[in-house]
Amino acid sequence: MSELTGILILNKPAGITSHDCIFKLRKILHMKRIGHTGTLDPNVTGVLPICLGNATKVAEYITDAGKEYVGEVTLGFATTTEDQDGEIIAEKKVDRVIARDEIIRVLTSFIGTITQTPPMYSAVKVNGKRLYEYARAGIEIDRPSRQVQIHEISLLTVQNTFSGDQISFSFRVSCSKGTYIRTLAVMIGEKLGFPAHMSHLVRTRSASFQLDDAISLEEVAALVEQEQIAQVLKPIATGVAHLPHFCANHQTVQKIKNGAVLAVDHEIPNMSNQTAVFDEFGALLGIYQDHPTKPGLIKPKKII
């Protein structure tokens, strides 16, 4: 069987890392050229696009695109890992009734640009080491804050009031790359006045890929056994569906295939952002962008 090329939309199971998924898929698919497009924590499930073969060339564009999650916040205690797996580090009973409208106001206050500090139990590197390596050694260090975008956020739990020593509610959030939903859950709790953690999380979208598109590792194995796996792979072009598109004419296609720098004229747009360039038959040729030092020219960022 020739090497597979395309994007496999995996429904990542709980209990294993994203790297574990790659390891398992290499054995199932009998191929090495595989890459995932954004790490999910072991206890998080949902959409994990996997690039196979030549599709690994667009992995970074899927990784950089927006994500959507459905999560659950539990108020009443906080943990070392900011999720349900960590040790409790703060407790406070929810000693008042919280109205639905108050939670909605808190959630909507996060829409826009927010600043987050990555949790100690995360894969962010500081001085060449992952933060979780410091955390496991009992060392807490200063972490660089980052700005992320919350595009939309809404309350999913349908009740008008919330009460009890601990309360939980679900929300849906659409956000930029790099957003820590665990940290967002803690921030939501802080605004409501209680320690909090993320008690459940599912990624429902990555770039243009939805949870409905995703299949399990078991389904992948069955499709390989039936020699039908190629039928569920998404074309490489779907990995850049969120980018601006441009269709090159016949005369320009060969220049693009050769990686040429092109002059902007009536046939070629000025590409100040990364733009996916296609031929007249809809095949993805590459990603072009405005030339950083030569006005009036565009240059390839990646040739597919």
Give Cα 272 to chain centroid, integer Å.
Answer: 24
**Cα(174)–Cα(228) distance, integer angstroms:** 33
Question: Which one, of 6, 38, 72, lies nearest residue 205 by Cα?
Answer: 38
Which is the catalytic residue, given 41, 83, 213, 290?
Answer: 41
* Residues whose CB falls within 8 Å of the CB of residue 225, separated by 6 or more in sequence, listed in order: none
Q: Which residue has the tokens 């959507």?
A: 68
Amino acid at 191: K
Beta pairing partners, 12: 46
Cα 124 from chain centroid (whole Å): 15
> Sign of the C-alpha dihedral, residues 216, 221, 225, 231?
positive
Query: Among this protein's residues, is 142 annotated catalytic?
Result: no
- Please tell me the distance from the alpha carbon of residue 259 to that of residue 269, in angstroms, as a whole number: 17
Which residues are part of the catalytic machinery?
A: 41
